[in-house]
Structure 1
């Protein structure tokens, strides 16, 4: 038996990176998976099905309240319930990709707050905080009605580590962490748990090419004692733990698969 046999999981950002790895791992553990993403989901659906699960894809913009509600409704319509939700959709910058490469060579401090356009700040918070809140809310409403469920938010080690030039990302992920704690507290007696995973630097499309950029890679590794990037599958394993009853006495917490970033 798999750890998620008979369970139904909704995963935003499930078409690539951590979300996709989590969808595949959940399917291998017996779950049916509903993937929400702005990116096309055919390949992710095929991979989930290859792993042994049934899969549904719905184009989802998590900054849209209606899209978040529709995603959860689609899961219920197709599979009858929602047992696990993973809010993985997120961006590093208003442009999308991480700015770790840009920051490594930013002698003019162009990415610092004093030079930051308000709309660039707002865009990251809209996706990373409001989008996660709306995803969590849609999931929680259904789960509370069921009397059970586990929500896992993808935050970041940047929720706790200030990175010069990355204020929108750091602030947004700190917001995800606090949202997790508050929602976990609010739902503590309902049978619904809310936790977070805060990865360190992980080999996803968000930082694609960083290993070929010595200054950027050195910057990332300077705060990563294991001196390597994480793998999406390693983050998915942490999500799996929080999704199952193995973590049944945990809520409002954040796990850090981050290569030892918090050993100090």
Structure 2
């Protein structure tokens, strides 16, 4: 157990699984009380946080709904009195949810832009860009009202900078998340509120579940990952912890890439 976030209140969207769940657990281990927002149940996350001895609140949250984003922060304040940290981890890879890396290896042009359904494209932007904006806005408004600063971390992706054929909705949305991070950081720079991003590479979460049993898909992922392995949610959570702790107090508008060396070239 650590003390990097001792006495802090952290709101985490997408906290029911994957990176969000690992971040909730790590933040609790570092002394934070946790508010988990997710569209689905988060029983396992609640168990992991409670095991650390910290308090935890679950709020059903659809980040594409403005009232849900505002309500999540309001519930956090009602329960804990304040919000110090926010991690916007809610996101999807495709309209169906899971990553299409397997699909892209099975059919090399099925998900190319020329064959793309507009509604499928829009759905990913709704979650990964508009939902991110409404989450960050709700967090920032509360932090501004408190007047004590804070830290917001957006979960982007290495795909914000690497074009992946057949994954235009995801790549475009994560590029949008990255630029939104920079704009918010600039707008809030003098307020004590820092806004940064984490851009993971291929990480062992439900989003790419089964990839290790699909050799072609796994080889495609590893072809741009020099370390030749998947990341773990705990490794991404560690990057989030750095950006929300006082260790990064002079950093805003930046994106860290726990991505297995994807940007060494």
TM superposition score category, shorter chain reference? over 0.9
Q: Does 1:257 align with 2:258?
A: yes
Residue deviations 1:126-150, cap 9 Å, x none? 0000000000000000111222100
SS of the residue 2:121 aligns to: helix
Q: Does 1:212 align with 2:213?
A: yes
Kindly report which structure 2 residues correspond to 1:49-64, keeping only aligned pairs within 5 A, or say none.
49-64=50-65
Equivalents in 2 of 1:261, 1:223: separation in Å?
A: 6
Return 5+ residue gaps in structure 1 as ranges: none
Return 5+ residue gaps in structure 2 as ranges: none
Equivalents in 2 of 1:184, 1:263: separation in Å?
A: 26
Could you list the runs of 4 or more consecutive aligned residues of structure 1 that deviate by over 3 angstroms after TM superposition? none
Partner of 2:163: 162
Partner of 2:19: 18
Cα shift at 1:245 = 0.8
Cα shift at 1:52 = 2.5
Equivalents in 1 of 2:43, 2:232: separation in Å?
A: 22
Aligned residues: 263
Kindly report which structure 2 residues correspond to 1:87-98, keeping only aligned pairs within 5 A, or say none.
87-98=88-99
Q: Does 1:233 align with 2:234?
A: yes
SS of the residue 2:99 aligns to: coil
Equivalents in 1 of 2:111, 2:154: separation in Å?
A: 26
Partner of 2:151: 150
Equivalents in 2 of 1:45, 1:124: separation in Å?
A: 27
Cα RMSD for the two superposed structures: 0.6
Partner of 2:67: 66
Equivalents in 2 of 1:239, 1:106: separation in Å?
A: 35
Q: Does 1:173 align with 2:174?
A: yes
- For normalisation by structure 1, the TM-score amounts to 0.99
Residue deviations 1:40-86, cap 9 Å, x none? 01221111111221100010000000000000001101001000000
Partner of 1:126: 126
Equivalents in 1 of 2:37, 2:146: separation in Å?
A: 22
Equivalents in 2 of 1:63, 1:105: separation in Å?
A: 31
Partner of 2:34: 33
